[in-house]
Amino acid sequence: MSTPDGFSELDLAILHALQIDGRAPWTRIAAAVGADATTVARHWHAMAEQSLAWLTAWPTPERWSASTDVAVVLLEPGTAESILDELAGLPWVLSVDETSAGALLLVAASGGLPMLSARMREVEGCGAAVRRMDVAAAIVAEDSGWRLRALARSQERLMRDTRPGERPRPPRPEVVAELATVLEADPRLPAAAIAAQLGVSEATARRTVDRAIAAGQIRVGCDLAMPAAGFRRGAVLWARATDPEQAAGRAARLAETHRVGILVGAAPLYVGVRARSLTALAAIEAAWGEGVEVTDRWTVLRARKRNGHLLDEEGRSVGRVPPSW
């Protein structure tokens, strides 16, 4: 049965499963979604060939907090399309969204705050006029944690690693960075091929991948053309709260939320939401809870880039710029 928006119910279930674990065997995904492995693989390859869905190795909040400074940068409205295309081609510009207030960039740097300052000079060197820049004190949630919610809880459990034990120590930051580069090119790359690229044994490569993922340094999942799944509307909410950390945590748990940051500013809460209609904003804000004052709302007119993937007007991946910062 097909949804009105382009994906079938089975497609959505497969995508949700891959959001949870992008490296899971087709047999485990098949068991979770109630289909055979051949059918699951066929549906996935059809979506991938149409650029409606793609696998990705996401940089996580844990990795950002360990080695990265992030800024949310607002450009003046009316920035030329050629400038936005040039900015989207930069590996340290992780996302580009056109909003009702101007183009919004997510910029990353690993060389401390002076490097963020240098990034701003490079943005301006492309011909962009920076209207506002907010440095992140913390990234609480980002796109890799957003879920379609097509699976029932029992199906989700089949996709999760339920092995007991303490969370392992992550590999060294430089190893994580090298592994992220390898997986970014092919998130389902077999352990033997990863070992060849890292110059280690297959067993070491497998343990390194498992440790990095279990420690939250890398999240291997999938992304998709949001309009095809019915999510044709997005918004950015700015807010202040009596307890910003608690409010950010509540925002991150909302079904519609895909990005949450605590920034340095008068209204420090930065929240990206996606929905089927902007009329849902009132309910989203009400669900956020008490003690939160929303100070501004921007409509997302178009997503141009997300986690290294260039997007067309229908949200499909039409190119890749490997993230590097």
What is the reported pLDDT for 316?
97
How confident is the model over 262-275, as pLDDT tens digits? Answer: 999 999 999 999 99
What is the reported pLDDT for 4?
40
What is the reported pLDDT for 180?
86
- Length reported for the chain: 325
Q: Is the pLDDT of residue 66 over 80?
A: no
Residue with tokens 């799944």: 229
What is the reported pLDDT for 217?
84
How confident is the model over 191-209, as a mean pLDDT? 94
Q: How far apart are CA 287 and CA 35, in angstroms?
A: 35
Is position 21 within any domain?
A: yes
Q: Is the pLDDT of residue 168 over 80?
A: no
- CA–CA distances in Å: residue 309 to residues 44, 88, 179, 251: 18, 9, 19, 25
Is position 314 within any domain?
A: no
Is position 244 within any domain?
A: no
Q: Which domain holds residue 207?
A: 9-59+148-224
Give Dmax (Cα) for the chain.
54
What is the reported pLDDT for 293?
97
Tally of structural domains, the chain = 1
Q: How far apart are CA 107 and CA 6, in angstroms?
A: 32
What is the reported pLDDT for 181?
86
Q: How far apart are CA 162 and CA 164, in angstroms?
A: 6
Burial class (CB within 10 angstroms; exposed 0-12, middle 13-18, buried 19+) of 287: middle
What is the reported pLDDT for 118?
96
What is the reported pLDDT for 3?
41
